[in-house]
Amino acid sequence: MKCIYIQIVFLIIFAGVMIATEQASSERPVIASYYSPNYHPGDPRNDNEKGRGWCEWELVKTAKPRFPGHVQPKVPLWGYADESDPNVMAKKIDAAADHGVDAFIFDWYYFNDGPFLNRCLDLGYLKAPNRNRVKFSLMWANHDWIDLHPYKRGAPRKTLYPGTVTPENFEKICDHVIKDYFLQPSYWKIDGRPYFSFYDMTKLIANFGSINATRAALDKFREKTKAAGLPGLHLNAVAWGQPILPGETKRSDLVEVIKALGFDSTTSYVWIHHVPLPKLLTDYNEVRDVYFAHWDKADKMYGIPYYPNVSMGWDSSPRTVQEDEFGNFGYPFTNTIGGNTPERFKAALEETRRRLMNRPVKDRIFTINCWNEWTEGSYLEPDTVNGMKYLEAIRDVFGVCK
């Protein structure tokens, strides 16, 4: 009898543990990491501008320490691999899934004359045999592409590809995105609706000439998505800066612009969009604390969900001519973040989890900068100093969504 009683107690405890585990899994925040797709050879624009086979790995290889305490170069543990190779991308996908990253948000480029850096997604991710392990989505990086790889201090800033497109091309782009990406089984959706983000509000509105015309174009984008058989479209705005409307010189209120355009959510791309870096080597925890204060305000400002960001670091010095004096002279000559150890990154994740768990389950989403922004000093991919520790920090804090 005593043995049966013990067995019953054990089963009750075991069942409770299993239920708690299932609840923890279902309540776990969704983790979406930005992905920068300029680490593969063969892009036609790069070949034309920089020479055959050039990609941003060349800047990573040649980076140097520029001031006391500056840690460069960063050396990738996996080597200078071609992300447009499905086998290389498969390794990234497995590492992301095994450590709790649910989705990649690809920085996606499309100009009036066509795509840029699309081989990473089209040839790498979409042809990877394990792509369903990590979802994907697009953030249209609709900013001007400036010739700064690398940038010579004081040189004229040359725009290679303007970020604005014509209304006609915008419509073609919408059709392309829906047909070739949204309908992919691994496309990331929120409430069944594909997540699509815009980086630059000023450029978005400049495409159409006014707030009203931009809202009409976005509404048509939604209609096209529904016509393709999807329940709708989740439009996200990367909320930073203050947009300038066409024909005006005074900056507009970002909150009012986002409301007028009817976005479903906002997010951030990187901490430094909201936190000034006062020192050449600004402490990571100082930046974290100021960003979390911004998060408190952002949660209340927009009237729609704000998906916070955790940044791994910041150091854009590889994008500068290495022989130049380095300082805070204007991007990519900017102050950096230091002391961004895996342990401090983990502490930022723990605070993020604590805050997110006070939200409704559907709003427990955050972004990470970045999976592989090596030339801006913010990456989760393993290097020869810290190995997999940044990824392990994510896994240790959030576990892995099965």
> Average pLDDT of each block of 10 consecutive residues along the chain (402 residues)?
44 38 63 98 98 98 97 98 98 98 98 98 98 98 97 97 98 98 98 98 97 98 98 98 84 94 98 98 98 97 97 98 98 98 98 97 97 98 98 97 68
SS3 6: helix
- pLDDT value of position 340: 98
Cα torsion for 196, 202, 206, 211, to the nearest 10°?
80
The bridge status of strand 145-146 relative to strand 159-161 is: antiparallel
CA distances, 143 to each of 4, 192, 203, 249, 290 (Å): 69, 28, 7, 18, 26
The CATH label, of 3.40.50.10330, 3.40.920.10, 1.25.50.10, 3.20.20.80, for the domain at 30-398 is: 3.20.20.80
- pLDDT value of position 21: 36
- pLDDT value of position 27: 86
For the chain, how big is the Rg over CA atoms in Å?
A: 22
Closest CA to 152 of 3, 278, 333: 333
136 contacts 186 by C-beta, under 8 angstroms: yes
Q: In b/e form, how buried is each residue of 250-263, taking b as 16+ CB within 10 angstroms?
A: eebebeebbeebeb
Q: Give dist(CA 69, CA 72) in Å, integer.
A: 9
Phi, psi dihedrals of residue 83, rounded to the nearest 5°: -70, -15
Closest CA to 368 of 350, 344, 347, 349: 349
- pLDDT value of position 246: 86
- Domain spans, the chain: 30-398
76 contacts 382 by C-beta, under 8 angstroms: yes
Q: Give dist(CA 202, CA 237) in Å, integer.
A: 11
Residue pLDDT, tens place only, 129-160 = 999 999 999 999 999 999 999 999 999 999 99
- pLDDT value of position 366: 98
- pLDDT value of position 12: 39
Residues linked to residue 135 through DSSP beta bridges, in sequence order: 103
